Amino acid sequence: MDPNAIQEILNKMLLLEESQVTLYSALAAKAPNEELFYGLQRLAKIESDHVKAIENKLKSLFPAPEEAISNLKNALTDGGLKIFGSTVSAVQGLTGLGPLLRAGAAAEEKAMADYRQHIAQIKDFELRDMFWEHLIDEELHYFWLKKKGEQLN
Ligand SMILES: [Fe+2]
Ligand SMILES: [Fe+2]
């Protein structure tokens, strides 16, 4: 796989992970009880670890001159702000616990599908390793959110 394609995938997953941090922080703020508050905060922390892992991978694979790094940061900030805006407005439209948990589960399904798709394309061992770890984390999040939702019924 050519380096540009890999860089593109990493940038895309970075934005997706950043939007997950935003989503769970926003959901935690709306959590109706202590257990869900801590659970959603924990999910936000794990997504933030995913962000850091991808950022480190980008830095090690693509050591760029300062100007290029600052251009990339600006591009990511612009993209990130758009995702942040749409994530926050989507969450603000939600009331009640069921829809909140379903929003989280839907976000995880999207992340899982993306990781699976990229794992099928990528040959680099270290990158596959990181993506598998993230994918399994997302699956655990998905099942946690689903189970918490079912327990409400
Ligand atoms: Fe994640
Ligand atoms: Fe997740």
Give the ligand whose atoms come closest to the C-alpha of residue 104.
2
Count of domains in the chain? 1
CA distances from 31 to 25, 40, 72, 101 (A): 10, 8, 35, 10
pLDDT tens profile 22-38: 989 988 988 889 999 99
Rounded to the nearest angstrom, the distance between the alpha carbon of 146 and the centre of ligand 2 is 13
Rounded to the nearest angstrom, the distance between the alpha carbon of 61 and the centre of ligand 2 is 24
Structure confidence at residue 18 as a pLDDT band (50, 70, 90): very high
Rounded to the nearest angstrom, the distance between the alpha carbon of 20 and the centre of ligand 2 is 7
CA distances from 95 to 39, 91, 122, 146 (A): 18, 8, 39, 17
Q: Are 108 and 145 contacting, i.e. CB atoms less than 8 angstroms apart?
A: yes
Give the ligand whose atoms come closest to the C-alpha of residue 105.
2
d(CA 42, CA 112): 18
CATH of the domain at 34: 1.20.1260.10
- 14 Cβ contact list (under 8 Å, min separation 6): 51, 54, 55, 58, 76
d(CA 29, CA 142): 19
CB atoms within 10 A of CB 44: 18
Give the ligand whose atoms come closest to the C-alpha of residue 48.
1
- 103 Cβ contact list (under 8 Å, min separation 6): 23, 27, 90, 91, 94
d(CA 9, CA 122): 10
Rounded to the nearest angstrom, the distance between the alpha carbon of 50 and the centre of ligand 1 is 5
Residues by chain with Cβ below 5 Å of ion ligand 1? 17, 47, 50
Range of the domain at 135: 3-151
pLDDT tens profile 89-120: 666 666 677 777 888 899 899 999 999 999 99
pTM for this prediction: 0.83
